[in-house]
Amino acid sequence: MAGHSKWANIQHRKGRQDKLRSKMFSKFSKEITVAAKMGDPDPDKNPRLRLAVKEAKQASMPKDNIERAIKKATGGDAEDYEEIRYEGYGTNGVAVIVETMTDNRNRTASTVRSTFTKYGGNLGETGSVGFMFDRKGEVTYPLAVGDADTVMMAAIEAGAEDVESSEDGHVIYCADTDLNDVSTALEAELGESDSTKLIWRPTTTTEMDLEGMQKLMKLIDALEDDDDVQRVTANFEASDEVMEALE
């Protein structure tokens, strides 16, 4: 989703990176611990853990933090987290998916609901907006790895489904269950990726003006600031001018 990616870049330029990095590392640690607890603590034998570790490394999370999160799972003192997905609507009917990991379902549900209400949205039932997204694997590369045709050929050979190339770089999509194999094949051909992760890819989008985006980003920011929230996805679309004008 180009809009959300641009917003992340704007946040970085405006100096929020330190706060965001601290939040991000905490969320990665939780995902790594849960993945290691649910499966094998060896990333080579646990695809979910391998992906979590890879995403954390790509975000420059220190190796010690990663090892500590895995050790916490094997030490028997890790909290029991439940993964819950919430769905709702933001400004102008934009569809929003909120993925959480919590040790207190009631607390998380209450906080997510009140956040939607506070910022002009509505929390819906499970499945109320999910049909507007496909679960996909996403691998991104910078422009420097090659032209669109080179990346397209590598993606096809790796078993990917789709490629989007622009001035911002190359985005490769695949079935969610194929992400590990596709990303491994791509890296053998193109080198280390910028990011590798599972996403909700919107099948339909809602065009937003500046006022609508300002309201929507307040909702997304508030949700992402919640320690129980792992990630937020929304199906908005906005012009470069609108994204650059955001404060």
Please report which helix (H) or strand (E) contains residue 189, including its range: helix 179-190
Q: At what angle do helices 179-190 and 47-58 cross, to 10 degrees?
A: 50
Residue 153: what pLDDT?
Answer: 97
Are both 139 and 92 inside the same structural domain?
no
Are both 14 and 64 inside the same structural domain?
yes
Q: CB of 165 within 8 A of CB of 148?
A: yes
Q: CB of 174 within 8 A of CB of 159?
A: yes
Are both 182 and 168 inside the same structural domain?
yes
Count how many domains the chain has: 3
Residue 78: what pLDDT?
Answer: 66
Residue 17: what pLDDT?
Answer: 54
Are both 162 and 47 inside the same structural domain?
no
| 159 backbone φψ class: left, alpha, beta (φ>0; ψ -120 to 50) | left
Residue 8: what pLDDT?
Answer: 47
CATH of the domain at 208: 3.30.70.980
> For residue 15, what are its two tokens?
């100096």
Q: Tens-digit pLDDT profile for the chain (247 aa)?
A: 344 445 444 444 444 555 667 788 899 999 999 999 888 889 889 989 999 999 999 888 999 999 999 998 887 666 788 999 999 999 999 999 999 999 999 999 999 999 999 999 999 998 999 999 999 999 999 999 999 999 999 999 999 999 999 888 999 999 999 999 999 999 999 999 998 999 999 999 999 999 999 999 999 999 999 999 999 999 999 888 888 887 5
3-class secondary structure, 143: helix
Parent domain of 234: 82-124+204-245
Distance CA 172, CA 151 (A): 9
